[in-house]
Amino acid sequence: MINQLITQINKLKDSEAAKTIDTRIKEFEQQGKKKEQDVFSELCFCLMTANFDAEKCIRIQKELDRAKGFEILPQDKLAQELKKSGHRFPNTRANYITQARSCSLELHNAIMKKDGQQMRNWLIENVKGLGMKEASHFLRNIGYKDVAIIDFHILDLLEKHNLIKKLDSGFNKSRQTPPQNRVGFQPKAESSGELLKPEESENLPIIKSKSLTKDKYLEIEKILKNLANQTNLNLAELDLYLWYLETGKILK
């Protein structure tokens, strides 16, 4: 249940992983204060991560940043570069990125003038290719701390601790990375091992499909907000703690 997860998180606070998480949060805060092209690059990174490996997206982002590819390459050339770099969906992502260029300035001007919920809604309405998770991911990566990134790993962890119930194992694995622990860091989270009473199980949020509806996303986000409050973390910090517990890695 939630108490065991709280204990695992609190134990991590005195580890090297916690120091890395603190550093990463500061990097996110600085990213949101950078120039328009830097913020746009982060948006492109999050557009690329849906159903694709985050570590590979980080590498592609660095390669394209050097040539200002996100900003200037025509759609067909950008698709070629994404394909050459090994992206799974080069044509679709190139389309999303080139369309997003038109709102880059407006996005940059709006940063931190709206709260996370308002900005997330704006992003979903104005940037093709961004859903609740991808928009939340982008906002976290530029310094927002009040939205949750709910992906496959987070859902898995919540299910292990009897906080949700999944009816389908084929979930979206964005930000996917093989479970692998860093040397000297805490092991991957174990299942709580606690059996629920029938009435408790019936009250769990039920996840029925690979993609979350907005209402279901917000329902799970409330669970994470409660967990954040009980561990004295914001949602940005909590995401990194949970993702580390589940994968042994701290990315972005």
pLDDT at residue 177, as a whole number: 45
pLDDT confidence of residue 112: 82
* Same domain? 34 vs 130: yes
Domain membership flag for residue 252: no
Do 181 and 137 share a structural domain?
A: no
- The predicted pLDDT at position 153 comes to 86
**Same-domain pairing of 158 and 212:** yes
At residue 58, the pLDDT reads 96
Beta bridge partners of 165: 206
| Domain co-membership, 74 together with 40 | yes
Residues 13 and 90 in one domain: no
Domain identity same for 205 and 103:
no
With 0-12 / 13-18 / 19 or more C-beta atoms within 10 angstroms meaning exposed / middle / buried, residue 40 is buried
Note if 133 is an active site residue. yes
- Is residue 167 helix, strand or coil? coil
Residue 76 is a catalytic residue? no
pLDDT at 1: 75
Q: What local confidence, expressed as pLDDT, does residue 207 receive?
A: 80
Exactly one of 53, 133, 146, 239 is catalytic; which is it? 133
- What confidence tens digit (pLDDT) does each residue in 4-19 have? 999 999 999 999 999 9
Do 182 and 105 have their domain in common? no
Domain-embedded: residue 37 = yes
Specify burial of residue 53 (Cβ count, 10 A radius: 0-12, 13-18, 19+): buried
**Does residue 164 fall inside a structural domain?**
yes
| 118, 179: one domain | no
How confident is the model at residue 202, as a pLDDT?
Answer: 57
Helix (H, G, I), strand (E, B) or coil at 222: helix
Q: Nearest to residue 223, comparing CAs of 138, 139, 165?
A: 165
151, 156, 239, 252: the catalytic one is 151
Domain closes at, from 122, 141, 160: 141
The per-residue pLDDT for 167 is: 76
Domain ranges, residue 135? 30-141
Residues 22 and 119 both lie in one domain: no
Global confidence as pTM: 0.85
Instruction: For residues 55 and 90, state if they share a domain.
Output: yes
Provide the pLDDT for residue 27: 97
Structural domain contains residue 234: yes
Per-residue confidence (pLDDT) for residue 204, from 0 to 100? 78
Give per-10-residue mean pLDDT for the chain (252 aa): 92 95 97 96 96 94 95 98 97 98 95 93 96 97 97 90 78 44 38 48 70 93 97 98 92 83
Per-residue pLDDT of 30-58, as tens digits, reads 999 999 999 999 999 999 998 999 899 99
Supply the pLDDT for residue 210. Answer: 65
Regarding whether 220 and 129 lie in a shared domain, the answer is no
Q: Say how many domains are in the chain.
A: 2
Q: 37 and 113: one domain?
A: yes
